[in-house]
Chains A and B, each alone.
Chain A
């Protein structure tokens, strides 16, 4: 081997051994397409276990190439690569191949639930918190509410544990501003009412409240009966279903105004700072009781 041939080989070896490689990771996915959205370039896939990334479940994925989404149809069996970046926070599908089209006719498009529009009033159904106390959204009239949905057994760090961790940060940040703290409230609702009883939710909540039960005065962890839960979920656009002792679900965060109206939804991308800013902005719409004006003395 002469020197010219040796250089590229050595260079490649150096690059490989010095860790000069992409921070993305790739995993093989096999599953069936249940839904697709061309506008968001997303497909919902019921997939098999993806070791190192995710157990078998049904969940939405962004597809890098929008043209692929046009070609895919619900019912298609696919193989693809899940690409993760940003420490697993971002993920999408690449190299999507249809392996079987025969299921196309049998796949039924999921009936979209009627999600409330921004400005509509939230349903005022009873919820039971971590102390077994019943409350309703209307109990927080005059406060800006940030609501999300989790289940305590969720094993995916980028799903429920991430949501609860983000809410914990918001809780701690707001606690530093007594005025904003007094005008806001957080609610986490479980969509696993059979398992997430009040004591389970209390234990779960305490883990995110640094074991300080006083935090529950500003952050409720709630559940309700399965019928009312479905109504609340439909109203907020949450989709969930149980499968093999695991719950497949979408991630949804809802901002509710002090008047009890939907102000904003987050379902795909958000940051903790974005949620916190939006909540603080809503809190600012609450009028602070003013001191009575002192009448001017005449003369």
Chain B
């Protein structure tokens, strides 16, 4: 029993240490994601967009439904793909966001209710 507790403590300590090293709590990731969202996404998806051929969909509850507005499954992988490659009239953000930035953005999109 003592050995099990020692192992559990060790695992917890390693996990906590890894979190400290990464300096990246989920909350911080979401905050960074919100900054990226405000900068790159909100101007089309959350505001008025005059003269555009098609109004971009709003992104609240993006992950609450099984499907994205495009009809594709609402998964992190699919959302990342759409951001990187673009979709229809949505421009590709290829090379404009880092992997970390994409992670942060997707983390924030999960919080939109």
Binding site for B on A (CB under 8 A): 49, 51-55, 86-89, 152-158, 160-162, 164-166, 168-169, 195, 207-208, 245-246, 272
Residues from chain A with Cβ under 8 Å of B50 in the complex: 86-89, 158, 162
**A54 and B92 contacting across the interface, CB-CB below 8 Å:** no
Give chain A nearest CB distance to B51 CB in angstroms.
5
* Cα-based distance from A155 to B42 in the complex (angstroms): 11
Smallest Cβ-Cβ distance to B38: which chain A residue: A51
**B47 and A88 contacting across the interface, CB-CB below 8 Å:** yes
Give chain A nearest CB distance to B27 CB in angstroms.
19
* Cα-based distance from A157 to B94 in the complex (angstroms): 17
* Cα-based distance from A272 to B52 in the complex (angstroms): 11
**Which DSSP category, helix, strand, loop or mixed, fits chain B's interface?**
loop
With known contacts A49-B39, A87-B48, A157-B43, A165–B53 Cβ distance under 8 A: yes
Residues from chain B with Cβ under 8 Å of A152 in the complex: 86, 91-92
Partner of B89, one of A88, A161, A246: A161
* Cα-based distance from A43 to B87 in the complex (angstroms): 34
By size class, the interface of chain B is 20 to 34
Residues B59-107 near A (CB distance < 8 A): 86, 88-89, 91-96
Give chain A nearest CB distance to B81 CB in angstroms.
14
Residues from chain B with Cβ under 8 Å of A86 in the complex: 50
* Cα-based distance from A153 to B39 in the complex (angstroms): 15
Residues from chain B with Cβ under 8 Å of A52 in the complex: 38-39, 42-43, 47
Partner of B94, one of A55, A87, A153: A153
**A51 and B88 contacting across the interface, CB-CB below 8 Å:** no
Smallest Cβ-Cβ distance to B51: which chain A residue: A162
Residues from chain A with Cβ under 8 Å of B58 in the complex: none
* Cα-based distance from A184 to B78 in the complex (angstroms): 40
